[in-house]
Chains A and B, each alone.
Chain A
């Protein structure tokens, strides 16, 4: 492999890894936000009668 090819691999690894980490964080965030919405919705119809709805 030529020097340029090795250089390309090194830089590709760096930015793919950082991009992959960002995708992972984004995925975790979306999952948590969905869970939060679900919990908020459930707390809005709380079976114990403590609903926030007037």
Chain B
């Protein structure tokens, strides 16, 4: 699948894609053939869900942290590239947070005997997901791109408050959700052995690389959408810039309109 791989940074995209998918393959091998089965109390074979559930949560944290930082930068500078980055990262954060909210109940159903418990960890994670789904809906339904960029940035900053609440909820409140490693013992230490730790950290690296690649692709797509909108506006105004100075591949995070002088605040598809 040729996804946004043209332009100067095409080679970097390809290297990142190869690294991401190779690390995913290695991680899957380690999860299924190296990591040992957990004790029955933690679900036995089912505990292997932990190797995708936790890395997905980690990546969602990173994604929402990027939204937070990019939103602050956008409010300070007004540069479109920050808005693009925040939007792309929020979308990926929702994807990975969805995976957390799906894989968790799949583990919980056979182990806890229920799909869902309204405990602090699960509820705060659901609130986090809803917050950023709202962020994406706000952007999708808005009619004034300039105004929505600022509104979305404020929501992206405020929404991040929930990330530490999700993370520390297992320490601050009594919850059913396991705290720390899923096979942690009563003293708070990890009972993960070396094979399990290797599998876990390889999965963490694989998900992080996969996220980095997806983010680069998604930011690039946002740049392409800006370029199209810019040309559409120019056509509507009957003032298309000469093609000799115009069409070229947008760079990731490029300020839309820089090439033609069009407004940098464009609606992203």
Contact = CB atoms under 8 A, between A and B. Distances in A.
Given A7-B45, A39-B231, A25 B238 contact: no
Contacts of A46: 240
Contact of B244 (A7, A18, A52): A52
A23 B3 CA distance: 9
A32 B269 contact: yes
Given A14-B56, A25-B218, A36-B247, A42 B45 contact: no
Interface stretch (B105-113, B118-126, B150-158, B167-175): B105-113
B106 A39 contact: no
Nearest to B218: A25
Interface SS of B by simple majority: helix
Given A17-B95, A48-B238, A4 B49 contact: no
B227 A36 contact: yes
In the complex, which range does the number of interface residues on chain B fall in?
35 or more
B43 A17 contact: no
Contacts of B218: 25
A19 B227 CA distance: 26
A10 B32 CA distance: 14
Interface in B51-70: 52-53, 56
A7 B35 CA distance: 14
B228 A35 contact: yes
Interface in A1-47: 1, 3-4, 6-7, 9-11, 13-14, 17-18, 21-23, 25-26, 28-29, 32-33, 35-36, 39-40, 42-44, 46-47
B240 A10 contact: no
Contact of A26 (B3, B45, B98, B210): B3
Interface of A: 1, 3-4, 6-7, 9-11, 13-14, 17-18, 21-23, 25-26, 28-29, 32-33, 35-36, 39-40, 42-44, 46-48, 50-52
Interface of B: 1-4, 43-46, 48-49, 52-53, 56, 95, 98-99, 102-103, 106-107, 109-110, 210, 214, 217-218, 221, 224-225, 227-228, 231-232, 234-235, 238-244, 246-247, 269
